[in-house]
Structure 1
Amino acid sequence: MFWTYFFILIAVFVLATFYGRSRSLQVVNGQLSALHSRPGYHGGFLAIVTVVPALIALIVWVIVAPNIMNNIVSSQSADIMSGLSKPAVEAFLRDARALAFGGIVGFVDAGKEHAAEIYKSLNTTSNILMGVIMALLVAGGFFYGVRTIQPQMRARHFVERSVMALLILCSAVAIFTTIGIVLSLIFESLRFFQQVPILDFVFGTHWSPQSAFIGAGAEATGTNSEVFGAIPLLVGTMLITFIAILVAAPVGLLSAIYLSDYAAQPVRAVAKPMLEILAGIPTVVYGFFAALAVAPFIRGWGESFGLTVSSESALAAGVVMGIMIIPFVSSLSDDVINAVPQSLRDGSAGLGATKSETIRRVVLPAALPGIVSALILAISRAIGETMIVVMAAGLAANMTINPLEAVTTVTVQIVTLLVGDQEFDSAKTLAAFALGLLLFCITLALNVFALRVVKKYREQYD
């Protein structure tokens, strides 16, 4: 029902915009010069005061209504849920909601059917009540806006301040989301470090969280911190990323140089979009390509030279990941190379330099900050990749720099630790947050390094 109300509000917004424009012209009998603000601003004013209060009420309703319904259902089904643990109560309510709204339910009993009927009734009542409230808010805002539209009304100031408030809100959401992510990683990681010493985690050389618990089942008496060493994961991550950059950096940079300074316009118009298509291919497709084509080829090639090559290797994953991130390097490098002023090229040519000398000694140094930023973005993308590593490099946490052996990465282990029903308070599950914090610190260090390089080599051109 949310989307129905939302699209209705969009339609009302458009209609109010057009009516506000025409209303502003009506109050001045078509004399545009008599208006303080242009008709478009009056249309925006009427649309904002008509729709925004109802939209805020709709958002609050979406956030609050499920909790209210859960509380009501819990109170009316207290006799059924008495004696159930908290996870069992949550599972009961989840199944009742699924039964009421067409979801998948494991098994059905009389209690869940009764709770589902309550959910249906509450949902119908809630939708009707919300529709009435929104209609009243839309009507009240519309009539207020129509009466407010006058020749000397400062509609432009109201609209611009409203847009400014929206921009500030979006910026605040982005900032607080980042803060929330960091704090959640820190707090959960601290819980993990209460069970596993941080030095054992950061400098440990053995990773096997499946064997973390001493004892068996409910007999477990503690946690073996020696199996939570992150060094093998870091080595695997850096090895695959290094191979990927060895592939992507030269290919991407050289293709950017060709497209920006050597290719004819018809060639560039075709080649650049074709190259950027690589960025739109799903990573699972790259994973299939790595597992079914690249890995067998590398294994056969290695065995022809008498080498022992694993069926899942860091080299296969790194090569395919490098192909995947070529568009990041190529497209961004092409943009920054094209941004170098033509006057620098002309000045170099006027001094007798060839085109290749101009590129090597003038264009690339001027574009170096942007190229470094492109490479850092590509490295960050490679570090965060999961699907290709799972399908081509495996899950074995081997501490090796041999690209022909199977390795794993930090992101793959995070996914592995959180798959399925897990006990959230165990060191095994909390290790995923510690790995996430470690990965965050690594990418932060890369970004700081990139900023220092950009700041050092940035130059201003007229």
Structure 2
Amino acid sequence: MNALVVAALLLVLLTLSYQIGWSRSRKLAQGGTETRLHSRPIYHGVLVALFATLPAIVVLGLWALFSDSVAHNFILSQLPASVSQLPPVEVHAAVGRVQAIANGFGVIGQPSPEETAAAGSFASFQRLSFLAVIAAAAALGAGGLFWARRRIGLRLRARTEVEIAIRIALIACSTVAILTTIGIVLSLLADAIRFFTFISPIDFFFGTTWNPRFQSAGTGSAGAYGLLPLLWGTVMISIIAMVVAVPIGLMSAIYLSQYAHERVRNVVKPIIEILAGIPTIVYGFFALVTVGPFFAAAGDAVGLDINATSALTAGVVMGIMIIPFISSLSDDIIAQVPRAMRDGSMGLGATKSETIRKVLLPAALPGVVGAVLLAVSRAIGETMIVVLAAGNSPVLRANPAEPTSTVTVSIVNQLTGDADFTSPQSLVAFALGLTLFVMTLLLNVMALYIVRKFREQYE
């Protein structure tokens, strides 16, 4: 109900302020010629809408940010003083019970009279505070509306101010994305440094044994944390996935862009891209119950020992998942090759297949390589398929028919269960995450560099 009221308030402010600003500027245009206005009426309407809605959004945002702490302190003030002396976990539980009672939810046991009284007071406080916030937002919105309306004149540079506001919004969105990336890196780096106080970086990056022992810090051996078995398992599964995905994806892109009829293309391409929309847990289940047993049975038929859960199973299914990624990108890249190059080749007497092999693919090669590198980074970061299909055996081996493990699987293993985040057994997950982040970052940078060089050459 509160969300509907907030949405209705913002919608009314936005609609009313835009209409008032637009109508005011139209009247000043003297008959609608708009020749004397610096900016078109639409910019005046948007400017008034910005001044009306932004103050209201700020008030509502501040309330959303601080309402929990205000509610917590208010409930504590209504409970006996002895409650605030309890441990933080019990204080939080007591406050949660009062909130549940006030909101009409059930609680375990019979509420005490103090809890019932506090819940009644908190319910009244919620209603009054919400009405006060809505009134303040509406008042500030109305004030901004009338102030912005009074500013409207023939020489008001409304378009310039609106464009400045849009530019600030775009910069803010970009800044949020950059700061999020920086925050992720710093959080991983801080805990990775803590891990390296327990385990030597040389032993971690060059060790060949992965055997973390789940013990509390200081109670014995920390175990072996060699990265190479996990790194090789990740690389081996990614190589198998690329062996499956690159030929099929590239050939399907060539067929759809050069040979297929338009009606066939309109049907086949969406069907291929459906593979990209299937959840990875479904792929993992498919690998576990269908592909793995099939490979095991096929191996028995020809005298080979192939485990149902192995690098081969995980790699093949992951390759199937990546096919639409490579196919769609390669299709778009081949389509960007200038038509003059194709026509010139055909005009010199080359066949369609010769044109594809000697003109289109060499011209599109940088872009295709970039698409493949992006697909590799996608394969390296995959988790659910390898959790279910790879076998979770962190042993350094070269046989793809045997179980293996990857960096992502080990991160899941180290952070599930009752994890002690002061021990190397849990902190190693952050070192693994940082390693994986650096790997995918380097692949993405390489891919973007290659694609950029391709665009510079042919756009």
TM-score between both structures, scaled by the size of structure 2 = 0.90
- Is the contact made by 1:245 and 1:379 (CA closer than 8 Å) also made in structure 2? yes
- 2:265 aligned residue (264, 268, 283): 268
- Is the contact made by 1:290 and 1:392 (CA closer than 8 Å) also made in structure 2? yes
Partner of 1:47: 49
Whole-angstrom CA distance in 2 between matches of 1:388 and 1:367: 31
- 2:210 aligned residue (203, 207, 210): 207
Farther off after superposition, 25-34 or 50-59: 25-34
Whole-angstrom CA distance in 2 between matches of 1:197 and 1:122: 56
What do residues 367-386 of structure 1 show as CA deviations (whole Å, max 9, x unaligned)? Answer: 12211221111111111111
Change (3 A) 1:461 1:404: closer
Whole-angstrom CA distance in 2 between matches of 1:118 and 1:398: 61
Does residue 300 (structure 1) correspond to residue 297 (structure 2)? The answer is yes
Letter in 1 for 2:150: R
- 1:181 aligned residue (174, 181, 184): 184
- Is the contact made by 1:287 and 1:389 (CA closer than 8 Å) also made in structure 2? yes
Deviation at 1:455, TM superposition (A): 6.3
Partner of 1:80: 83
Note the 1:30-179 alignment, pairs <5 A.
Answer: 30-31=31-32, 32-74=34-76, 77=79, 78-84=81-87, 86-90=88-92, 93=95, 97=99, 100-101=102-103, 110=112, 120-179=123-182
Whole-angstrom CA distance in 2 between matches of 1:461 and 1:167: 29
Unaligned stretches of 5+ in structure 1?
Answer: 215-219
Does residue 349 (structure 1) correspond to residue 346 (structure 2)? The answer is yes
Farther off after superposition, 114-123 or 149-158: 114-123
- Is the contact made by 1:325 and 1:378 (CA closer than 8 Å) also made in structure 2? yes
Change (3 A) 1:251 1:92: farther
Report the 3-state secondary structure (helix = DSSP H, G, I; strand = E; otherwise coil) of the residue aligned with 1:407.
Answer: coil
Farther off after superposition, 376-385 or 157-166: 376-385
Whole-angstrom CA distance in 1 between matches of 2:132 and 2:407: 49
- Is the contact made by 1:200 and 1:225 (CA closer than 8 Å) also made in structure 2? no
Change (3 A) 1:256 1:181: same
Report the 3-state secondary structure (helix = DSSP H, G, I; strand = E; otherwise coil) of the residue aligned with 1:208.
Answer: strand
Report the 3-state secondary structure (helix = DSSP H, G, I; strand = E; otherwise coil) of the residue aligned with 2:414.
Answer: helix
Work out the percentage of aligned pairs sharing the same amino acid. 49
Deviation at 1:122, TM superposition (A): 4.5
Report the 3-state secondary structure (helix = DSSP H, G, I; strand = E; otherwise coil) of the residue aligned with 1:308.
Answer: coil
Change (3 A) 1:394 1:11: farther
Whole-angstrom CA distance in 2 between matches of 1:114 and 1:412: 50
Whole-angstrom CA distance in 1 between matches of 2:74 and 2:306: 61
Letter in 2 for 1:10: L
- Is the contact made by 1:329 and 1:378 (CA closer than 8 Å) also made in structure 2? yes
Report the 3-state secondary structure (helix = DSSP H, G, I; strand = E; otherwise coil) of the residue aligned with 1:195.
Answer: coil
Whole-angstrom CA distance in 2 between matches of 1:387 and 1:6: 38
Deviation at 1:391, TM superposition (A): 1.9
Deviation at 1:447, TM superposition (A): 2.5
Unaligned stretches of 5+ in structure 2?
Answer: none
Deviation at 1:152, TM superposition (A): 2.2
Partner of 1:217: none
Deviation at 1:162, TM superposition (A): 0.7
Farther off after superposition, 6-15 or 335-344: 6-15
Letter in 2 for 1:128: L
What do residues 408-447 of structure 1 show as CA deviations (whole Å, max 9, x unaligned)? Answer: 2222222232234433322222222111101011112222
What do residues 68-90 of structure 1 show as CA deviations (whole Å, max 9, x unaligned)? Answer: 33344456555124242x45555
Partner of 1:228: 225
Report the 3-state secondary structure (helix = DSSP H, G, I; strand = E; otherwise coil) of the residue aligned with 1:194.
Answer: coil
Report the 3-state secondary structure (helix = DSSP H, G, I; strand = E; otherwise coil) of the residue aligned with 1:415.
Answer: helix
Report the 3-state secondary structure (helix = DSSP H, G, I; strand = E; otherwise coil) of the residue aligned with 1:132.
Answer: helix
Change (3 A) 1:223 1:435: farther
Letter in 1 for 2:431: A
Deviation at 1:253, TM superposition (A): 0.7
Whole-angstrom CA distance in 2 between matches of 1:104 and 1:202: 52
Letter in 2 for 1:449: M
Deviation at 1:395, TM superposition (A): 2.7
Does residue 255 (structure 1) correspond to residue 252 (structure 2)? The answer is yes
Report the 3-state secondary structure (helix = DSSP H, G, I; strand = E; otherwise coil) of the residue aligned with 1:431.
Answer: helix
Whole-angstrom CA distance in 2 between matches of 1:370 and 1:88: 58
- Is the contact made by 1:380 and 1:443 (CA closer than 8 Å) also made in structure 2? yes
TM-score between both structures, scaled by the size of structure 1 = 0.90
Report the 3-state secondary structure (helix = DSSP H, G, I; strand = E; otherwise coil) of the residue aligned with 2:409.
Answer: helix
- Is the contact made by 1:207 and 1:232 (CA closer than 8 Å) also made in structure 2? yes
Report the 3-state secondary structure (helix = DSSP H, G, I; strand = E; otherwise coil) of the residue aligned with 2:446.
Answer: helix
Note the 1:389-408 alignment, pairs <5 A.
Answer: 389-408=386-405
Letter in 1 for 2:252: S
- Is the contact made by 2:333 and 2:364 (CA closer than 8 Å) also made in structure 1? yes
Farther off after superposition, 352-361 or 174-183: 352-361
Whole-angstrom CA distance in 2 between matches of 1:119 and 1:396: 54
What do residues 331-361 of structure 1 show as CA deviations (whole Å, max 9, x unaligned)? Answer: 0110011000001111222333222222222
Whole-angstrom CA distance in 2 between matches of 1:304 and 1:395: 25
Partner of 2:15: 14
Change (3 A) 1:182 1:112: farther
Farther off after superposition, 323-332 or 55-64: 55-64
Partner of 2:242: 245
Farther off after superposition, 271-280 or 333-342: 271-280
- Is the contact made by 2:237 and 2:315 (CA closer than 8 Å) also made in structure 1? yes
Letter in 1 for 2:126: N
- Is the contact made by 2:19 and 2:45 (CA closer than 8 Å) also made in structure 1? yes
Change (3 A) 1:104 1:437: farther
Report the 3-state secondary structure (helix = DSSP H, G, I; strand = E; otherwise coil) of the residue aligned with 1:321.
Answer: helix
